[in-house]
Chain A
Amino acid sequence: MRIDSIDLFSALAAEMNAHPDQFRPLGEADMDVVIVMTSKRADSFAVRLAFEGIRCEHVVEAEADAPCEYRLVGPLTAWQAMFDDIAEHGRATGLQTINSLALLGNDIALGGTDPMGLDKFSRFNQTLQEFFDGASAVLALEVAP
């Protein structure tokens, strides 16, 4: 499965929504996020994710500059490295956690115009991290015989 695809993010949302027992202890999270993957060889891929309560309710392809509370923008190679790390270790490790990547800002940058929206990245960070970590199950399922 390509990571710059609605298929992947729909599968991540399904993985989150299938595990309320994992996400309920983290508490409700309400945020509107755009993920942007840039590429030198193709158009950027952007997806808008709407988290409500303990679910990811909406996954839709979007424009890179679509309105949102915050966006995470980086080259496809950086996102691939993050998902590869998750697939290898079962969760993001070291500098491949979404906070580490966004704080360093070298590869994946956290953007947005409203500090109140930007701070939602911090307010719901564990939820977002575990949403991405769901890729370990999604990608493992894909390669399973």
Chain B
Amino acid sequence: MSDVTKDYSKLPATSPLGAPLDWAWLRGAKSEWGVRPKPSPRGLTMLDIAVGSYGDVPEHPAHRSMAPRGADIEAGSPDMGYILNDKADVWADNTRELYEEAVARQWSATRDIPWGELQELDDDVEHAMCQLCTLLTEVEMIAADLPAKWMWRMNHEFIEAKMFLCTQMMDEARHAEVFRKRALANGGGLLLSRNGATSLLRTIIEAKSYTQATALMHLLGEGFVLDLFRMGELIAPSEVEKRIFRMCMQDEARHVAYGTMHIRYSVEHDPDVAEEIHEALDHGEMVLTEFGTAPDVSTALAVLLAGGVEDVESKGFPMSLEMSKKQFSSYLARCERAGISRLERTKLPLDLLGIDIETIRSAGRAA
């Protein structure tokens, strides 16, 4: 702690080489000098240090530099060219919690998967698993590319949101890694990549604004992939795949939690943004539905759900339809929670899917 009685006025004004010296920092910063955040039982978390003005995230930051939020910032700081300068552009109220969770729950696709327990599978099941892994290897990195596209445009005052997105990029790198490894590890390999997947990914990466992009990626895309991972765990032929899908599921659910609460924060603080999000989801739902019903994706999933090609019609496709109903229900419930109800707007065939609208609505009331 600085000693307010100590006199620094006699310190030299120039260095031994004659360069001017600045001792202003010796005065300490603001009135909170001496405030000590207390570590929680699990260590000193980002929530613990969000104290006083250090925890205040401005709605409209005054600076556009990389100066740390809470520091004394010299006048005339350079403009880094940020375009996401409103808190509502990027923030979610669970950002700090999710960052800590992400850091604590990192895992290794090399060490934490029991690769030695891989089992020889029937030819059709191995092909189906490899096809699913091919698809997942392809689509997972979009959730790294997209934050990378926008992060350098985010005002540095929103550092916690940027830190969380860094963890998301690491998560997605690991997902691409683990599915690529699984495709190759059991004697199969990477199979067919069709154009539909890339069309979906382009829709996401080309979104006009970050809020549209995050609605498409976190709420719609990752929400569906989260349920796909849950399905993957269900149909996993061995503990290897079960573990892969469970670990990926955990990561994906964090990303969805950020996206849901970010959209909510955005809509609450800037109601005009709702229409922009709806427009993105109108288009995104169509593209995702086309992608989900693509002949290769749907057949691979049906084979895995049926445990092989023999029961694909009697068991695989009916189960697949049931799973789709759950995916759409989860997505629509998250939209309610995010404050962006899709029930009156969506073109999804809710009746055909047998979706219980009242249950979905209750998700919005839970907020």
The answer to whether B234 touches A95 (Cβ under 8 A) is yes
Instruction: Select which of A28, A97, A116, A119 is within 8 A of B242 by beta carbon.
Output: A97
Total count of chain A residues near the partner, CB < 8 A: 28
Encode A102-128 as 1/0 by CB contact (under 8 A) with B.
Answer: 011100000001111111101111100
Q: How far is the CA of A125 from the CA of B363 in the complex (A)?
A: 21
Known contacts A26-B105, A119-B253, A119-B257; A53/B246 CB under 8 A: no
The answer to whether A123 touches B365 (Cβ under 8 A) is no
User: In this assembly, does A77 line the interface, its C-beta being within 8 Å of a C-beta of chain B?
Assistant: no
The answer to whether B230 touches A123 (Cβ under 8 A) is no
User: In this assembly, does A99 line the interface, its C-beta being within 8 Å of a C-beta of chain B?
Assistant: yes
Instruction: Select which of B101, B229, B261, B323 is within 8 A of A116 by beta carbon.
Output: B261
Known contacts A25-B112, A122-B253; A104/B234 CB under 8 A: yes
User: In this assembly, does A39 line the interface, its C-beta being within 8 Å of a C-beta of chain B?
Assistant: no
Encode B350-367 as 1/0 by CB contact (under 8 A) with A.
Answer: 000000000000110111
User: In this assembly, does A93 line the interface, its C-beta being within 8 Å of a C-beta of chain B?
Assistant: yes
The answer to whether B254 touches A99 (Cβ under 8 A) is no
| Chain B residues with CB under 8 A of A118 | 330, 333
Known contacts A97-B242, A99-B233, A100-B234; A114/B367 CB under 8 A: yes
Known contacts A103-B234, A119-B256; A113/B362 CB under 8 A: yes
The answer to whether A27 touches B257 (Cβ under 8 A) is no
The answer to whether B333 touches A115 (Cβ under 8 A) is yes
The answer to whether A114 touches B366 (Cβ under 8 A) is yes
| Chain B residues with CB under 8 A of A95 | 234
User: In this assembly, does A129 line the interface, its C-beta being within 8 Å of a C-beta of chain B?
Assistant: yes
Question: Which one of B243, B246, B362 has the greatest number of beta carbons of chain A within 10 Å?
Answer: B246
| Chain A residues with CB under 8 A of B87 | none
A95 to chain B, nearest CB (A): 7
The answer to whether A28 touches B42 (Cβ under 8 A) is yes
Q: How far is the CA of A28 from the CA of B337 in the complex (A)?
A: 25
Question: Which one of A91, A103, A122 has the greatest number of beta carbons of chain B within 10 Å?
Answer: A122
Q: How far is the CA of A115 from the CA of B94 in the complex (A)?
A: 14
User: In this assembly, does B104 line the interface, its C-beta being within 8 Å of a C-beta of chain A?
Assistant: yes
Q: For residues 223 through 261 of chain B, which have their beta carbon under 8 Å from a beta carbon of chain A?
A: 226, 229-231, 233-234, 239, 242-243, 246-247, 249-250, 252-254, 256-257, 260-261
Known contacts A53-B41, A93-B239, A123-B257; A28/B246 CB under 8 A: no
Known contacts A93-B239, A100-B233, A126-B246; A114/B256 CB under 8 A: no
| Chain B residues with CB under 8 A of A113 | 362-363, 365-366
User: In this assembly, does B106 line the interface, its C-beta being within 8 Å of a C-beta of chain A?
Assistant: yes
Q: Considering only CB atoms, which chain B residue lies closest to A24 in the complex?
A: B104
User: In this assembly, does B278 line the interface, its C-beta being within 8 Å of a C-beta of chain A?
Assistant: no
User: In this assembly, does B334 line the interface, its C-beta being within 8 Å of a C-beta of chain A?
Assistant: yes
Encode A10-53 as 1/0 by CB contact (under 8 A) with B.
Answer: 00000000000000011110000000000000000000000001
Interface size class of B (residues with CB under 8 A): 35 or more
User: In this assembly, does B153 line the interface, its C-beta being within 8 Å of a C-beta of chain A?
Assistant: no
| Chain B residues with CB under 8 A of A104 | 234
User: In this assembly, does B326 line the interface, its C-beta being within 8 Å of a C-beta of chain A?
Assistant: yes
| Chain A residues with CB under 8 A of B94 | 116
Question: Which one of B105, B330, B363 has the greatest number of beta carbons of chain A within 10 Å?
Answer: B105
Q: How far is the CA of A25 from the CA of B113 in the complex (A)?
A: 13
Known contacts A103-B326, A122-B253, A125-B249; A28/B101 CB under 8 A: yes
| Chain B residues with CB under 8 A of A129 | 246
Q: How far is the CA of A122 from the CA of B257 in the complex (A)?
A: 11
Q: For residues 68 through 110 of chain A, which have their beta carbon under 8 Å from a beta carbon of chain B?
A: 91, 93, 95, 97, 99-100, 103-105
The answer to whether A27 touches B246 (Cβ under 8 A) is no
Q: How far is the CA of A120 from the CA of B249 in the complex (A)?
A: 10
B111 to chain A, nearest CB (A): 9
The answer to whether B234 touches A99 (Cβ under 8 A) is yes
Q: Considering only CB atoms, which chain B residue lies closest to A120 in the complex?
A: B253
B217 to chain A, nearest CB (A): 16
Q: How far is the CA of A117 from the CA of B367 in the complex (A)?
A: 10
Q: A93-B239, A97-B242, A116-B337 are in contact. List 7 more A-B contacts (CB 8 A).
A: A28-B101, A97-B233, A113-B363, A122-B226, A123-B253, A125-B246, A126-B250
Closest 10 CB pairs of A and B: A27-B105, A27-B104, A114-B366, A122-B253, A123-B253, A113-B366, A100-B234, A115-B337, A115-B333, A99-B233
A-B contact pairs, 29 of them (CB 8 A): A28-B100, A91-B239, A97-B242, A99-B230, A103-B230, A103-B231, A103-B234, A103-B323, A104-B234, A113-B365, A113-B366, A114-B363, A114-B366, A115-B330, A115-B333, A119-B253, A119-B257, A119-B260, A119-B334, A122-B226, A122-B229, A122-B252, A123-B101, A123-B257, A125-B246, A125-B250, A126-B247, A126-B250, A129-B246
